Structure 1
């Protein structure tokens, strides 16, 4: 019964039988069979299926809300029995974004495990927003607006700055205003556009057409480092490159909107497993204040209108080629 409930939660979360099947390691035919079995047992249709979309029925919405609450309570009960009331112990499944997880989570796992040797940690790095209930994930590190359906703990702010490599600025010039960005090569992953910026004129939404279409934020960063264009990057991702002069900050009065922070999220449950509490506290202690912002005082920024400091010299603004970045 529990497995069918988890599968149904994944179907609702992903909005697709095939996507839920991929998450559970099942074929679409098997997912459909198990959904039909669940509907037969309940005596109610839970979803309407068409060739293009899947819509939850009223009965499906009610059952989904009740099911995920019960599943969350069951997961918490298992963790409590396995790990004891006070000492962190038992299985702890954590999800984190791929690049951030490699750079800022993985290096600190050993210290956590030394402190809590009874915890069996599983770390899944993915850029997908996985279904915590359906995937039996205890805790996820996410970058973005906190999810209302989950319990969220803010771990650190996430500053995002406009930047480019010295070679790009030498070739294409330094933009003096946001409007001039439209004449430049811009770099962003598909899920990171448009750019939402805060600055002297308030909040601005900037349409962006990336020079290269990619679903990977890491590709956008590597292109910026290679001198392909201008990017809006998080300081956790490019703080070292900025401090070392491999990237130069642009338009310093403007930053990415401040509503995109780094959170730890977990399913709602009456009991929080000690291992989850300990892991979230471990990360919060590491990132308060964020260590990747320590060197930002050393960052090169444009000194005068139309110029930027690049490797100790001043790069003057030159007119971009017509069509650059358009």
Structure 2
């Protein structure tokens, strides 16, 4: 079991890329983590990690070693979950990754109520617009927004997503309100690089519109703030701008048209025979919280 503990520490450090973060997740000091890693390397007579002042990364042999022992470490954790199904009570550390805007608007505001229900749980929440690999980085759960590709992961739909064209009324008063998709070509259209062109569906079926404008960005946050600031028209999810639509700060443009691709908000986690109670608790809590929200009406 002592060897297993060293392996678990090593796997956690590789996934976190940091001794400090791994120690925090395991409840160990950096000094203890470093000592245990050194002991493992001495026992194997090989260097497993490159250490710098800012980051830790596996050596070539360390990466091969990690790929072989990570499934074993995960299997042991799953077995422990099985036998401790008093794990009906959520406890420990839950690692979650979520998109930046979504996490800020629809996860963080609910955390007070969540922790009141689960006082023995620690949530390590990382907000990023990059699709972090869940298994490789050691996340228990990821929140994904959009259309999921098939994978070996389990996905639970939390809520629908409806995407609409919207703009600030002052912009539309000055530039004119489009009567149809063809009119969008005369407007400033705000989109991230990977959202261009817009694929819409309306009364006459699907259509494609190139989002042309002076702004180039990969950030959804930039597009959101730009449309709220009155720069142009954007295709946004209702969960992202429902408060502004409700207050009148933004108005829907071409209400008969929405994004063509079906999308949703999903909780995605590694496929396991026994899902840890902490993972189930977070998913169930979000589903209950989102059920009554006006942020994502069904299309």
Query: TM over 0.5, yes or no?
Result: yes
TM-score normalised by length of structure 1 = 0.69
2:111 is aligned, of 92, 109, 112, to: 109
Q: CA deviation at 1:88?
A: 1.1
Name 1:131's counterpart in structure 2.
Answer: 133
Alignment of 1:35 onto 2:38: no
Q: How many residues align?
A: 256
Q: 1-side partners of 2:140 and 2:120: how far apart?
A: 16
Name 1:251's counterpart in structure 2.
Answer: 254
8 Å Cα contact 2:184/2:209 also seen in 1: no
Q: 2-side partners of 1:212 and 1:77: how far apart?
A: 51
Q: 1-side partners of 2:224 and 2:162: how far apart?
A: 15
Q: 2-side partners of 1:284 and 1:258: how far apart?
A: 22
Q: 1-side partners of 2:70 and 2:148: how far apart?
A: 19
8 Å Cα contact 1:160/1:235 also seen in 2: yes
8 Å Cα contact 1:71/1:133 also seen in 2: no
Name 1:157's counterpart in structure 2.
Answer: 160
Name 2:275's counterpart in structure 1.
Answer: 272
Alignment of 1:89 onto 2:91: yes
Q: CA deviation at 1:166?
A: 1.2
Name 2:47's counterpart in structure 1.
Answer: none
The aligned runs of 1:184-263 (5 Å cut-off) are 184-263=187-266
Q: Secondary structure at the match of 1:253?
A: strand
8 Å Cα contact 1:161/1:235 also seen in 2: yes
* CA spacing shift, 1:67–1:185, aligned 2, 3 Å: farther
Q: Structure 1 stretches of 5 or more lacking a match?
A: 11-20, 42-62, 297-326
Q: CA deviation at 1:202?
A: 2.4
Q: Structure 2 stretches of 5 or more lacking a match?
A: 1-6, 17-49
TM-score normalised by length of structure 2 = 0.75
2:183 is aligned, of 163, 170, 180, to: 180
Q: Secondary structure at the match of 1:88?
A: coil
Q: 1-side partners of 2:115 and 2:11: how far apart?
A: 32
The aligned runs of 1:247-326 (5 Å cut-off) are 247-293=250-296
Q: 2-side partners of 1:290 and 1:196: how far apart?
A: 26
8 Å Cα contact 1:6/1:71 also seen in 2: no
Q: 1-side partners of 2:206 and 2:200: how far apart?
A: 6
8 Å Cα contact 1:73/1:270 also seen in 2: no
Q: CA deviation at 1:181?
A: 0.8
Q: 1-side partners of 2:213 and 2:168: how far apart?
A: 16
Q: CA deviation at 1:205?
A: 3.3
* CA spacing shift, 1:38–1:266, aligned 2, 3 Å: closer
Segment of structure 1 superposing worse, 195-204 or 268-277:
195-204
Q: CA deviation at 1:245?
A: 1.4
Q: 1-side partners of 2:70 and 2:79: how far apart?
A: 14
* Cα deviations by residue, 1:237-261 (Å, 9 ceiling, x for unpaired): 1111112111111111101135221
8 Å Cα contact 2:143/2:267 also seen in 1: yes
Name 1:16's counterpart in structure 2.
Answer: none
